[in-house]
A and B are shown apart, each in its own frame.
Chain A
Amino acid sequence: AQSVTQLDSQVPVFEEAPVELRCNYSSSVSVYLFWYVQYPNQGLQLLLKYLSGSTLVESINGFEAEFNKSQTSFHLRKPSVHISDTAEYFCAVSEDDKIIFGKGTRLHILP
């Protein structure tokens, strides 16, 4: 069975600084990978996904993630964060007809 590990439960970062949220998954077989974002008291929104093709995927708000098959990782990065990026971020991996979620990383933007 697949599992997803988000190594950091919380990440504090200064505004306009770069950030990396780490995600590792358990299996190297062909998978789909996702990052979701959750703002307080809301549902999850799809941020970006990797299905196939280019290993670097980008979102419309400046986030990007790189699929690394050999390291079974799918880390999320942004070169310069904004206060509006304050949220919880979930990494997820497909398994059969389900998606397995990590426990989330809370991103705190410091002024």
Chain B
Amino acid sequence: DGGITQSPKYLFRKEGQNVTLSCEQNLNHDAMYWYRQDPGQGLRLIYYSQIVNDFQKGDIAEGYSVSREKKESFPLTVTSAQKNPTAFYLCASSMDGGTQYFGPGTRLTVL
């Protein structure tokens, strides 16, 4: 079964802690993306990667970091520098920068 997975589905974090969200795909896609979704604001691009060992900042990269050591994996770390991290986080992948396919999302709540 080809697809894109995110874990965990729900994540709780205390203020001041870093937390890492997992995103894995077995679609053999080159490009991967991280979005943040807040009610009424649509999707905002955090980081994206077109190829292994390379990534670019999106519109709201401050307080986040990523790595792309393997084609299949694109983990997102939400650092303590992100002042309002409570949100729904979506990962996506695409073959050539065109149609994107999304994972089921991770809902992060800061306690």
Chain A residues packing against B (C-beta within 8 Å): 9, 32, 34, 36, 41-46, 49, 51, 90, 94, 96-99, 101-104
Contacts and interface: CB of A to CB of B under 8 A. Distances in A.
A4 B80 CA distance: 32
B90 A43 contact: yes
Contacts of B33: 98
A41 B98 contact: no
B45 A98 contact: yes
A103 B99 contact: no
Main secondary structure of the interface of B (DSSP, over half): strand
B104 interface: yes
Contact of B100 (A9, A99, A104): A99
B74 interface: no
A45 B58 CA distance: 21
Interface string B35-65: 1000011110100101000000010000000
Contact of B99 (A41, A42, A49, A104): A49
